[in-house]
Structure 1
Amino acid sequence: MATTVRDLRPEARADLEDFVRVRESALPFMIYTPDSVAYDLAHMHTDAHYRPLVAEEDGEVIGTAQVGLVYDSPEPGQGYVNVYVHPERTRRGAGTLLVNAAEEHLAALGASRLYAWVLDEPANRAFAERRGYHASRSAYFLRLDLANGTLPPLQAPPPGVELRTGTDFAADPRPLFELDAATIADEPGDVDNEFTDYEAWLRETWHHPLISQELTTVAVVDGRPAAFSMARTDGGTRYGTVMTGTGRDFRGKGLAKLAKNDSLHRARAAGFTEAVTGNDTGNGPMIAINKWFGYETAATEVRYVRELG
C-alpha cells in the first residue's frame, strides 16, 4: 500500500470533509467544519505561508498537517507543524511523510524554530523525540456535557456592569479587538503574539465562520468592554470558547466568570449539547474557572520544539 503526501485541495469538497474526518478522529476536542478549513486557507495572512497537507494511502486520506509561520510574533523565524493521523491508520508512514514535507516547506521559508502540539501518549511523544523535538509546556483539552451537566446559576451583573453579546459590536468590533489583543499578550505560552493588525483580526477571528457573535458575551463597564468570552460553534451541537479574558484594569472582580456563565447558559438554551475549550496547564486561574463550571479534562497535549540548522 503506497502512502503519499500532497496539498489540500480546497476546491474539492470531499478533500475538506476528509480533512475534518481525520482531525476529529484523532483530536475530537476541537471544532472544525469543511467550510472553516476552506476559509482558513483562503483568508490566512499571506505572511503565515499557511499550507495544509494530507497524507493518502491508496486514495484514502489518513493524515493531515497544518503548517505555517507564526507571522504575528515579534520574534521572526518561528514555524508550526501540527500533524494528526487517523488512529486506525497509524504506523504506515503517513506521519513521517507529513513531517518531512512540513519541515522542508518551513526551512525553505527561513524558519529556525518549529513548534508542534503532540497528544500526551507514549507513541506520539516518542515519534516527536526521534525527530529531534524536545518537550516544552503542555495544555489541557476540557469538555463539558451541556445537555446533562449542571451549570452554576446565572448571576446578575454587579452595579455598573452590563452584559452584551458580540452582535452588539457588529458595527464596530475594534473595542473587542483591543481587549482580545490585551488578554492574549498575558496568555502563558512558548510564543509571544502581538495583535497589531486589525484587518487580519477581522478576517481570521471576528468574521471566521465558526465564530458565534450571538453566543459571545461581553461584560461592559462604563461603555468599555472589560471582559469577554468568545464563542465558536459547528452549527450543530458543539460549542466552544476560544478566548475568555479580562482587561488588566478590571481583573479580580469575577467578570470573566460572569461573561462565560452567561454564554454557556445561552448556548445550552440554543440547543448545544457539548462544550469544549482548552487551557495551558500553567493558567491556574482559568483552569479553576472552568472546573467551577464543571469542565473535565479530556486529554493533555504537549508542545514540542525543534531548532533547525
Structure 2
Amino acid sequence: MKPGFSIRPFTPDDYDGAISVHLSVYPEYPNTANEWRDADARRHPDLFFRRFVAEMDGKIVGLVGGGPEEWANHPGLVSFNIRVRPEYEGRGIGAELYDRFLQEAAVLSPTRITSEAREDKPRGIRFLTKRGFVEEMRFWESQLDVDAFDFTPYAGCEERVTSQGIATKTYAELASDPDRDRKLYEMDVEISLELPAPDPITPASFDRYRVQVLESPHLLPDAIFVALDGDRYVGITSLWRVEAGEHLMTGLTGVRRDYRRKGIALALKLRAIDYARRHGSPQIRTDNESNNRPMLAINERLGFVKTPAWIAFALTGDFLPQRHEDTKNEEFS
C-alpha cells in the first residue's frame, strides 16, 4: 500500500465523493449521484461489477470501477475506468486502483481488458499504453447548437419520406400498439448489431431492455421518434433527459438495412432537433464511432461539432502487467 492514501471498496455512502472526483476530471459531463445510484440499481444482478475508491486527506481522491458489459458480454472480456483528482495525480493512486481492480477481476480469468481515454488527457493515454494497451477505435461526442440551427436547407425532407409511405410517430403516440415495446426492442437489436464497436454486441433480453431502457428515468416518451412502414417499425432516433444541465442526449439512431438511403434517418434527426427547440433545450449531444461514416456524415451535415475524441484501448495476451518503476507514478485522468 502506498503511504498517504488507502484503497477500499466503494460503499453506498460514497456516491457524492465519487461524483466529485468524476466532475473534477470531466466537468463537462455533469453526472449526479442520483444518476449513478440509479445506474447501479439497474445493473444485471448476475454480472460481476466492482468499484474501489482511494482516500487521502480525509476525502475520496480517486476511483476505479468495471466488469463485463451487459451489451458486450463475452467470456474473458472485462472493462474498467479510472478517475483521479488532477491535484492528486503523480502519486501512484491510479496504479494502485488499477492493481486492486485486476486482483478482483482475476476471478473472471480475463483474456481481454478494455478501457478508454480522451485524446486531450495525455496522462490517461500514457497510463494505458505503458501497460500494454493498444488503441482500437476512436469515437466522438458531437454537439449541436439548437438555437443556431437553421431548418431552411432541409425544407421538404420529411415530406419526401412521407411520400414513400413512411410515417413517424413518438413512443407516446404508439401506446395503442400492444406490441410496441417488443417491436422497439427487436428493431433496437437489429440496428445495434450492425453498429461499429470494439467488441460485438450481445443483445440483452427483452426483460433487461425494459429495465435498462423503457423504465429509465431519463426516457422521454414524446422524444423517441419511430419511423413506420404500415405497422412495421423501421427506424428510430431518441433524445434523453439528464438530471444536471439543460442539454439532451441522443440515444440510438438507426434504420433497418432494407429502408436505408431513403432519407429516413435525416428526417428523424430533424424531428428531434425540432423537439429540442420547442422544449427550450439549447444543445443536443450525440456519440459516433470513427468508422460509422453514414451517421457521422448526417451529423456533420446538420452542424454537430466534434469534441475531443475518446480512444478505445484493449489489452490482450499477457494481460497481468508487472509494476515497473517507469510506470508506477503515471496517473489516469
TM over 0.5, yes or no? Answer: yes
Contact kept, 8 Å, 1:218 with 1:228, in 2: the verdict is yes
Q: Match of 1:8?
A: 10
- The reply on whether 1:223 has 2:231 as its aligned counterpart is yes
Which of 187-196 and 140-149 deviates more?
Answer: 140-149
Structure 2: which amino acid aligns with 1:81?
F
Distance in 2 of aligned mates of 1:63 and 1:133: 21
8 Å Cα contact 2:8-2:54 kept in structure 1 = yes
Q: Secondary structure at the match of 2:251?
A: strand
Q: Which moved more, 1:240-249 or 1:19-28?
A: 19-28
- CA distance in 1: counterparts of 2:200 and 2:141, whole angstroms: 21
CA deviations 1:249-305 (Å, max 9, x no partner) are 211112122112211220221121222111111111111111122111111111111
Distance 1:184 1:98 in 2: 33
Alignment partner, residue 167 of structure 1: 172
Return the alpha-carbon distance in structure 1 between the equivalents of residues 133 and 200 of structure 2: 20
Q: What is the alpha-carbon distance in structure 2 between the residues aligned to residue 198 and residue 38 of structure 1?
A: 23
User: Alpha carbons of 1:286 and 1:27: their partners in 2 closer, same or farther (altered >3 Å)?
Assistant: farther
Residues 135 and 302 of structure 1 are in contact (CA less than 8 Å); yes or no, is this contact kept in structure 2? yes
Task: Decide whether the 8 Å contact of 1:51 with 1:66 is kept in 2.
Answer: yes
Give the direction of change, closer, same or farther, for the CA distance of 1:270–1:71 in structure 2 (3 Å limit). Answer: closer
Partner of 1:44: 43
Asked if 1:97 corresponds to 2:96, the answer is yes
Alignment of 1:261-276 (within 5 A): 261-276=270-285
Bigger-Rg structure (1/2): 2
Shift of 1:153: 4.8
Spell out the pairing of 1:93-132 with structure 2 (5 A cutoff).
Answer: 93-120=92-119, 121-132=121-132
Query: Which structure has more strand as a fraction of its residues?
Result: 1
Shift of 1:79: 0.7
Higher mean alpha-carbon deviation, 270-279 vs 102-111, is at: 102-111
Moved more, 17-26 or 212-221: 17-26
Which residue number corresponds to residue 209 of structure 1? 217
> 1:110, CA displacement in angstroms?
2.3
CA distance in 2, matches of 1:246, 1:30: 28
- Provide the rounded CA distance (Å) in 1 between the counterparts of 2:44 and 2:73: 15
Pair 1:37–1:77, CA change in 2 (3 A): same
Helix, strand or coil at the partner of 1:291: helix
Change (3 A) 1:179 1:29: farther
Cα 1:125–1:269, aligned 2, differ >3 Å: closer, same or farther? same
Classify the secondary structure of the residue corresponding to 1:46.
coil
**Matching residue's letter, 1:221:** D
1:158 aligns with 2:166: no
Structure 1 equivalent of residue 330 of structure 2 = none
Gaps of 5+ in 1: none
Answer yes or no: is 1:255 the counterpart of 2:264.
Answer: yes
Over 3 Å counting, the alpha-carbon distance change for 1:251 and 1:28 in structure 2 is farther
Higher relative contact order (CA 8 A, sep 6+): 2
Deviation string, structure 1 residues 41-87 (Cα, Å, up to 9, x no partner) = 11211233123333333232333333011344463110101223334
Cα separation, 1, equivalents of 2:66 and 2:6? 17
Measured in 2, the distance between the counterparts of 1:149 and 1:122 equals 34
TM (norm. structure 2) is: 0.83
The equivalent of 2:310 in structure 1 is 301
- Write the deviation string for residues 84-103 of structure 1: whole angstroms up to 9, x where unpaired: 33344432333222222222
Contact 2:25 2:85 in 1 (8 A): yes
Matched, 1:281 2:290: yes
TM-align CA RMSD: 2.4
1:198 to 206, 209, 216: 206
Q: How far apart in 2 are the matches of 1:199 and 1:7?
A: 30
Decide whether the 8 Å contact of 2:248 with 2:284 is kept in 1.
Answer: yes
Whether contact under 8 Å (2:51, 2:64) holds in the other structure is yes
- Where does structure 2 lack aligned partners over 5 or more consecutive residues? 321-333
TM-score of the aligned structures, taking structure 1 as reference length = 0.89
Does the C-alpha gap of structure 1 residues 231 and 239 become closer, same or farther in structure 2, counting only changes over 3 Å? same
Q: CA deviation at 1:25?
A: 4.0
Count of residue correspondences: 306
